[in-house]
Structure 1
Amino acid sequence: MIGSLSLDQLRVLIAIADAGSFSAAGRALGRVQSAISQAIATLEATQGVALFDRNSYRPRLTETGRVLVDQARLVLASAARFEAVAAGTRAGLEPELTLAIDPLVPSALLIDSLRALNETYPDLPISFSTEGLGGSLRRLRDDAASLAICLLLPAVPDDIVAYPLLNVAMCPVAAPGHPLASLKRRITRDDLATHVQLVLSDPVTPDGANYGLSSARLWRFVDLGRRLDFLLAGFGWCRMPEHLVVDLLANGKLIALQIEDDSAPAAGLTIYAAHRRDRVLGPGGRWLLNTLRSRLGND
């Protein structure tokens, strides 16, 4: 019965399990043994279970008791987390930092900053979402994310504040068995038009603006990994972030395509840290933004 359950009873239960006896738990908690015994008796009565086998000289946890000790540890850890988040909010920290990250963003370049954020604000809950291209901007505008690490194509919208972090080189590739991979010349737009192009898109607005399209035959994906599976299987061609395919190019599982008058920017696609112009970031969000700009920013 949850209504009659107290955190103190769970602390007593854990103390007994850790100390090995009621008397040792009493000493650890600074209480008399009778208070420890009463707390456990009340817990057993309200929950309708036997936590300890009292048939021997020293009470031992029953099988149910052992399971519930583990559950008690989880409950107390969650309660401590609850109190930490509340304390952080009282001190001005946002209750949660929500991040939206485009699938093309290399995770390795973010990990050090996110690790440092966790060390600086250990009690700040962080949630991530990774969606198709355009999904991060949509989540910012829906107020479902406070900070996005994303592409902004064709330009930074007026309602968004954005800071360039890095450029991601994009490489047109196909599997070795794909017809485009066997051409012994530079590939023209007419060549590309007849083959399936595997593209990333936002599942919410799949017919929204698209960039870098060179084919009338499009297969749309939300997940970058799933698209890579189909690419390796020879179902089409696409532009992939260079950092994700460098090993596949080296071992011959993918072939780089040389496209004539390629419209893709030679410098790669710019990844931004962005937030809504009318939304002020909390301390954790500002700290992460400043750290990313310091470590990666190219402005």
Structure 2
Amino acid sequence: MLNSLNLDQLRVFVAINDHGSFSAAARQLHRAQSAVSNAIVNLETALGTTLFDRSGWKPQLTDHGYSLLVDAREVLARADQFKARALRLTQGLEAELSVVLDVMFPTVQLVDLVARFQQTFPGVVLRLCTEVLGGVPERVLTGEYDLGVQGSLPDIAPGLTSHILPEIAIVPVAAASHPLMGQRKISNDMLREYTQIVLTDHSGRTAGRTFSVYSNRQILTADLGSKYAMLRAGLGWGFMPRSFVEEDLGAARLIELDLAERQPRNQSMPLFLIRRDSDPLGPAGRWVVDTLTQAVTISKDLP
């Protein structure tokens, strides 16, 4: 009999409970009271249980009715979500949006972006991934991801459209126990003698190229978290986003190194929002582009 159960019956069930009587539910639903009564009788028959005790002047939920009311509300809520999502899809809204981000992208900014995205597009699945150097454009160009936030790598590959984002500050750091701690105007020759922890690219797009690498002795990793842990452990020195190590610098767990020569490349890192030229974005994708690039507009307007 459960095959005869339908959403309309569940709506009547909930309405009777919420409005206190069959007649009040009928008025709320713009139905005849007999239609409301028949809907509940049919629902009880389909379920094989009594939902309301009708012996008094006001219908009261039975124990089974009380238990099933929670499920009925959940089914109706999911059905409403289903219909709303179907409507959005027919209007061009993406079912899923995927974004690949450079590991240097500030975590605080990412969390804020995701929180605002969820509020604006609650029915769109957001898929995120982090990559290093050429890994970001690689995943966008192959179509695996819709958008990318490219850092580290300064070149924009053919086939991609880019939008400039605010740069992020980069600092050379080492643990407080590191031999370079306390040194003034550290020369490049001195840096070469100490192990540098370097982010490496496994995409192949930067083969034969290095970025802000000084030391002859290196530890290579494609993960910013492991680089951070090795820096904290005193296993080497390296460049990190200031936002990532701000607390460590304040607590003197990491020390900013005083380099004699700092090129613009290792003082700040440009970020670019990238997407494929050939694929138009839907409303959620355009919202991400507008939200991230808005910060550039605001910074230009500030005195």
Q: For 1:115 and 1:243, locate their aligned partners in 2 and report how far apart those are by CA, in whole Å.
A: 19
Corresponding residue number in structure 2 for 1:253: 253
Supply the AA of the counterpart residue of 2:16: I
Are the equivalent residues in 2 in contact too, given 1:124–1:284 (CA < 8 A)?
no
Q: From the superposition, tell whether residues 10 and 55 of structure 1 become closer, same or farther in structure 2 (CA, over 3 Å).
A: closer
Q: 1:190 to 1:275 in 2, by over 3 A?
A: same
CA distance in 1, matches of 2:104, 2:50: 52
Q: Counterpart in 2 of 1:83? A: 83
Distance 1:46-1:287 versus aligned 2 partners, 3 A rule: same
Q: How many residues align?
A: 293
Matches within 5 A, 1:134-149: 134-149=134-149
Measured against aligned partners, the alpha-carbon deviations of 1:55-79 in whole angstroms (never above 9, x if no partner) come to 86333252x6445433333333333
Change (3 A) 1:92 1:55: closer
Task: State the SS of the aligned residue for 1:131.
Answer: strand
For 2:60, the equivalent position in structure 1 comes to 59
For 2:221, the equivalent position in structure 1 comes to 220
Post-superposition offset of 1:179:
3.5
Indicate conservation of the 8 Å contact 1:193/1:217, yes or no: no
Q: Rate the CA distance shift 1:290–1:184 in 2: closer, same or farther, 3 A.
A: closer
Find the residue that maps to 2:199 and give its secondary structure: strand
Change (3 A) 1:156 1:256: same
Q: 1:150 to 1:73 in 2, by over 3 A?
A: farther
Runs of at least 5 residues in structure 2 that lack an aligned partner in the other structure: none
Aligned-residue offset at 1:108 = 4.6
Aligned pairs for 1:103-182 within 5 A: 103-109=103-109, 122=121, 125-133=124-132, 134-151=134-151, 153-181=153-181
Using the TM superposition, give the Cα deviation of residue 249 of structure 1 relative to its aligned residue in structure 2, in angstroms. Answer: 1.1
The amino acid of 1:168's aligned partner reads I
TM-score by length of 1: 0.76
Cα pair 1:160 1:276 within 8 Å, conserved:
yes
Percent identity over paired residues: 31
Cα RMSD for the two superposed structures: 3.8
Cα displacement (A) at 1:127: 0.7
**Contact preservation (8 Å) 1:97, 1:124:** no
1:99 matched residue in structure 2: 99
- Displacement after TM superposition at 1:104 (Å): 1.8
Structure number with bigger Rg: 2
1:25 is the counterpart of 2:10: no
Letter in 2 for 1:60: L
User: Does the 8 Å contact 2:152/2:269 carry over to 1?
Assistant: no
Say if 1:231 and 1:237, in contact at 8 Å, map to a contact too.
Answer: yes
Q: Give the aligned residue type for 1:36.
A: V
Cα distance in 2 for residues equivalent to 1:228 and 1:42? 64
Structure 1 residues 194 and 254: alpha-carbon distance in aligned structure 2, compared to 1, 3 A threshold: closer
Give the stretch that moved more between structures: 189-198 or 285-294: 189-198
Is the CA contact 1:99–1:145 (under 8 Å) kept in the aligned structure 2?
yes
Closer/same/farther in 2, CA of residues 82 and 257 from structure 1, 3 Å limit: same
Distance 1:80 1:250, change over 3 A: same
User: How far apart, CA to CA, are the structure 1 residues paired with 2:247 and 2:288?
Assistant: 31
Gaps of 5+ in 1: none
Once structures 1 and 2 are overlaid, which stretch shifts more, 147-156 or 91-100?
Answer: 91-100
With over 3 angstroms needed to count, the CA separation of the structure-2 counterparts of 1:69 and 1:180, relative to structure 1, is farther
CA shift at 1:199, angstroms?
3.1
User: Quick one: which amino acid aligns to residue 221 of structure 2?
Assistant: R
Which deviations, in whole Å up to 9, do the C-alpha atoms of 1:145-185 show, x marking residues without a partner?
A: 22222226141111211111111111121221234435566
> Are the equivalent residues in 1 in contact too, given 2:96–2:125 (CA < 8 A)?
yes
The structure-2 alpha-carbon separation of the partners of 1:280 and 1:207, relative to structure 1 and needing over 3 Å to count, comes to: closer
